[in-house]
């Protein structure tokens, strides 16, 4: 029986969970993979820091060379975060013929394709299932469980922070700022939440999902990103009255070989499965040509859920080592990257505006939309917050993104339109 030696980079929330699982489930893991797993070294910032797990002090080091250059270590588990410095460290590990398991979606979204190619060149594996949606095995499901299908669309709630905030804003009628502070106090949001609430964290995850689903090389620059900071209680109230729930949704779809990937606030029908996903939970909805609709749901973060995915990836690495098939996971992208233009992206839209409350206003507005061949499924008109103004809320029928852009630009030129308050995608009504 070959003993597998592991170097663990990081002993924070996830790293601690990895050690606990290896300690608590060691016998079961050994039985399933046919190898003894030994943690040889753990890279930390402070050797003397108090830990939430019992650990041999001999394991701890502040020198990454003791992991990536150590000839006794077979696998590097990277759960410390970071991008550029971490990338250099992982490149060095691969050149030293070490397999990698990582939960670092930032690293994989930015440098993943290069690392995967380098791994293949060195007959090494990289597994990164924990980098998207924590304990939900969505990457493995796409690459293995749904490998025989053609994925047409993925819709996902892949950021627990924003889902928690929007759940509280919707259910408790609270504004964004106080809910963000509550999320930070509970540990659901970072002290600097920009990456989460701005949509960047979700975009990095959607990049990884799109790469696997569509077998083409999608970069972070290819993703249209909008966050949740401008969503108001009024937006939520109007959406609710029209039968929708607002969620930050990552969307990746393909049609005729062309791809759209976005992260944006989206109105979903209240009975849509994703609309019912609350608080810090994640869910990914997958449309396959053969399988139809499937949904993966679970905790998107946390010590043990994420650590479970990390250790599962470690077990896959060990199985490949024992079978002598390491380095075959990466497959060169099958298709050339082709992105949809705004004329090729079709969906419905929610549009909210403040206008002058006078005769002829509505006709002028509808003329603008008619010129772009935009029609409406739902319309609301209510008194505005200012004297002699009204608010108009519209949900269009399916139109192109370019039709929306043109309509909004032309509306700004109308004297009776005071301001476009908000506009959001509407999806999930197929």
Alpha-carbon span 376 to 353, nearest angstrom: 15
Query: Which residue is catalytic, options 120, 168, 205, 340?
Result: 205
Alpha-carbon span 134 to 160, nearest angstrom: 10
Angle CA(184)–CA(87)–CA(188) in degrees, nearest 5?
10
Residue 272 DSSP code: S
Helix, strand or coil, per DSSP, at residue 385: coil
| Short-list 89, 43, 100, CA closest to 66 | 43
Instruction: Provide the token pair at 228.
Output: 């949740």
Tokens 């009204």 found at: 390
| Short-list 274, 196, 265, CA closest to 224 | 265
Q: What is the DSSP string of 200-262?
A: HHHHHHHHHHHHHHHTS---GGGSEE--STT--HHHHHHHHHTTEEEEEEEEEEEETTEEEEE
49 carries an active-site annotation = no
Alpha-carbon span 349 to 426, nearest angstrom: 5
Q: Can you list the positions of beta strands (E) in 24-91?
A: 37-43, 60-61, 75-78
The enclosing H or E element of 395 equals strand 389-396
Helix/strand/coil percent split, the chain, to 5: 40, 25, 35
Alpha-carbon span 313 to 406, nearest angstrom: 47
Helix, strand or coil, per DSSP, at residue 189: coil
Instruction: Provide the token pair at 87.
Output: 């990338």
Which residue numbers are catalytic?
205
């Amino acid at each position: 029986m070959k003993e597998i030696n592991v170097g663990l980079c990081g002993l924070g929330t996830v790293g601690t969970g990895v050690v606990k699982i290896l300690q608590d489930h060691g016998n079961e893991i050994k039985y399933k993979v046919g190898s003894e797993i030994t943690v040889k070294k753990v890279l930390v910032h402070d050797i003397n820091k108090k830990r939430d797990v019992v650990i041999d002090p001999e394991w701890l080091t502040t020198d990454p060379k003791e992991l990536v250059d150590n000839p006794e270590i077979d696998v590097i588990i990277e759960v410390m975060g970071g991008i550029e410095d971490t990338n250099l460290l992982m490149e060095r590990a691969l050149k030293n013929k070490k397999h990698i398991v990582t939960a670092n979606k930032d690293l994989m979204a930015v440098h993943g394709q290069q690392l995967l190619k380098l791994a293949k060149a060195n007959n090494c594996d990289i597994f990164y299932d924990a980098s998207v949606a924590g304990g939900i095995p969505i990457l493995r499901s796409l690459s293995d469980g749904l490998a025989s299908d053609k994925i047409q669309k993925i819709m996902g709630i892949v950021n627990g922070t924003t889902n928690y905030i929007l759940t509280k804003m919707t259910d408790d009628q609270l504004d964004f700022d106080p809910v963000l502070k509550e999320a930070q106090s509970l540990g659901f949001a970072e002290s600097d939440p920009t990456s989460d609430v701005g949509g960047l964290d979700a975009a990095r995850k959607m990049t990884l999902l799109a790469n696997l689903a569509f077998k083409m090389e999608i970069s972070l620059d290819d993703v249209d990103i909008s966050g949740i900071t401008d969503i108001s209680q009024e937006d939520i109230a109007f959406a609710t009255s029209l039968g929708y729930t607002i969620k930050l949704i990552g969307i990746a779809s393909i049609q005729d070989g062309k791809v759209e990937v976005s992260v944006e606030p989206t109105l979903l029908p209240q009975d849509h499965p994703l609309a019912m996903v609350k608080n810090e939970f994640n869910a990914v909805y997958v449309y396959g040509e053969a399988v139809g609709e499937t949904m993966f749901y679970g905790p998107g973060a946390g010590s043990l859920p994420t650590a479970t995915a990390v250790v599962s990836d470690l077990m896959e690495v060990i199985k490949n080592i024992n079978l002598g098939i390491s380095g075959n996971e990466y497959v060169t992208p099958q298709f050339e990257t082709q992105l949809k233009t705004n004329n090729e992206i079709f969906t419905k839209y929610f549009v909210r505006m403040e206008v002058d409350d006078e005769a002829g206003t509505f006709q002028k507005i509808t003329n603008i939309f008619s010129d772009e061949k935009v029609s409406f499924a739902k319309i609301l008109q209510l008194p505005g917050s200012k004297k002699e103004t009204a608010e108009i809320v519209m949900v269009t029928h399916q139109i192109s993104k370019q039709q929306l852009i043109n309509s909004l630009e032309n509306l700004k030129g109308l004297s009776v339109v005071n301001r476009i308050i908000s506009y959001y995608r509407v999806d999930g009504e197929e």
